[in-house]
Homo-oligomer: A and B are copies of this chain.
Amino acid sequence: MTSIDQLYCKTLDQNDPLAALREEFNLPAGMIYLDGNSLGAQPKVAFQRAQQVIQEEWGNDLIKSWNKAGWFDLPSRLGNLLAPLIGADADEVVITDSTSINLFKAIAAVLNIQSKKADANTRKVIVTERSNFPTDIYMAEGLTQWLDRGYRLHLIDSAEELSKAINQDTALVMLTHVNYRSGALHDMAAVTAMAHAHGALCLWDLAHSAGAVEVNLQQANADFAVGCCYKYLNGGPGAPAFIWVPKRHQADFHHPLTGWWGHAAPFAMLPSFTVTPDIRRALCGTQPIVSLAMIESGLQVFAKTSMASVRQKSLALTDLFIQLVETRCAQHQLELVTPREHAQRGSHVSFTHQHAYAVIQALIERGVVGDYREPGIMRFGFTPLYTSYTDVWIAVEILRDILDSRSYNTNIQRNAVT
């Protein structure tokens, strides 16, 4: 292994084809931000976009903006801008509501499809991971308990259990493509094929994938997907989420959140619901326009590169981080949680440490922003659009210094949001 130093990292930056994209973002001076997997950084044009919506569209044009500024079509128009990043076709994605709400719609649609099949009485299991992001599990729990038709969750403890867990009783395989904690990446095509071979459908949560790894939903023959716009897509805090329904499933996409934006004729004001035939059937109520509109600013940056380039740099950044932590902090009992194999790794890296929470707080104090996740995990996100190789070097040096000097407070009080 070549010995790596800051000069070497600087050379990597000089040869980085994505280096210029950092200029598209506002990044606080003196901060190395390794939390873009939780809240993406701010595209410089986001504020101007918000200003346009607030001052011109809302302030000057008021109600006319529903037509004139295209507010009513924003979920579809932004969905079409996002589609190429996840291997979706046109008119298959809308940006709307939260990831939790979109999960509910998709789970409901799958159970409805399965309930029409001959083996509906026995096909009652939703397979997911115990380590899935909690809200995914909670939404499935909430829906199945309410339906009270014998659906049950089967929580597996590792990806290896999938092949045993998926069988003729499986209605739905619901997985997060990249695990929010470990950073482990599922083989979407292989798992989907396994599910289909047993008559199950496959729902993918792309919260930590969209804008982070190459995703090709069509090629993987996936059934449904949802995901988040405020992480790697840099859409702004709590920006509305997306939902993908491929054309082949749109006619069968039924869910109980039948709000007026999903109606075939929303302005006819009819007293009975008729679902629209296209992707807008995944819509429900009126959307928060300012937060929604800013998502475009994040998507515009991706239009200047390709997901292949983003992925290549992501792997280089995470490789470098793992290698530096394991060499320069070798004596500090940091345990890598994230898979080493590229094919199994997303765009963040997690290590356990006995004092993980305290160390993360000390890092944040020193300007290196990662985050803590239960239990005992330090999590670091690498966002190729604005993270440099030198950032990685400096971050690891500060981590090493904190650990070497034990300059972290193990009695630190925890924040509500960790």
Indicate which residue in B33, B57, B270, B273 contacts A237 across the interface (CB closer than 8 Å). Answer: B57
Taking CB atoms and an 8 Å cut-off, the chain A residues in 239-272 that contact chain B are: 239-241, 255-261, 263, 266-272
A15 → chain B, closest Cβ, in Å? 28
Determine the chain B residues whose CB is within 8 A of the CB of A270 once the complex forms: 134
Q: Known: A42-B58, A59-B28, A237-B57. Contact between A272 and B137, CB under 8 A? A: yes
Indicate which residue in B139, B241, B417 contacts A72 across the interface (CB closer than 8 Å). Answer: B417
CA distance A143 to B104 in the complex (A): 13
A281 → chain B, closest Cβ, in Å? 12
Determine the chain B residues whose CB is within 8 A of the CB of A238 once the complex forms: 71, 286-290, 292
Determine the chain B residues whose CB is within 8 A of the CB of A267 once the complex forms: 374, 416-418
Whether B257 pairs with A139 at a CB distance below 8 angstroms is yes
CA distance A273 to B133 in the complex (A): 12
Which residue of the partner chain B has the closest CB to A35? B63
Taking CB atoms and an 8 Å cut-off, the chain A residues in 59-78 that contact chain B are: 59-67, 71-72
Taking CB atoms and an 8 Å cut-off, the chain A residues in 15-73 that contact chain B are: 26, 28, 31, 33, 35, 38-39, 41-42, 46-47, 50-51, 53-55, 57-67, 71-72
Indicate whether A8 reaches chain B with its CB closer than 8 angstroms.
Answer: no
Whether A141 pairs with B272 at a CB distance below 8 angstroms is yes
One complex includes copies of this chain to the number of 2
Which residue of the partner chain B has the closest CB to A135? B260
Whether A39 pairs with B59 at a CB distance below 8 angstroms is no
Indicate whether A362 reaches chain B with its CB closer than 8 angstroms.
Answer: no
Indicate whether A331 reaches chain B with its CB closer than 8 angstroms.
Answer: no
A346 → chain B, closest Cβ, in Å? 17
Indicate whether A97 reaches chain B with its CB closer than 8 angstroms.
Answer: yes
Q: Known: A54-B236, A72-B417, A155-B271. Contact between A98 and B285, CB under 8 A? A: yes
CA distance A78 to B101 in the complex (A): 22
Whether B289 pairs with A236 at a CB distance below 8 angstroms is yes
Determine the chain B residues whose CB is within 8 A of the CB of A286 once the complex forms: 98-100, 230, 238
Give the most central of A35, A42, A135, A137: most B CB within 10 Å.
Answer: A135
Which residue of the partner chain B has the closest CB to A69? B237
CA distance A55 to B101 in the complex (A): 28
Which residue of the partner chain B has the closest CB to A415? B67
Indicate which residue in B47, B258, B291 contacts A55 across the interface (CB closer than 8 Å). Answer: B47
A156 → chain B, closest Cβ, in Å? 11
Whether B290 pairs with A237 at a CB distance below 8 angstroms is yes
Whether B263 pairs with A138 at a CB distance below 8 angstroms is yes
CA distance A258 to B72 in the complex (A): 28
Q: Known: A28-B62, A67-B416. Contact between A142 and B257, CB under 8 A? A: yes
A140 → chain B, closest Cβ, in Å? 9
A residues at B contact (CB < 8 Å): 26, 28, 31, 33, 35, 38-39, 41-42, 46-47, 50-51, 53-55, 57-67, 71-72, 97-101, 104, 108, 130-135, 137-139, 141-143, 145-147, 155, 181, 230, 236-241, 255-261, 263, 266-273, 284-292, 294, 364, 369, 371, 373-374, 415-418
List the 4 closest A-B pairs by CB distance, nearest first: A98-B285, A100-B285, A288-B291, A142-B258
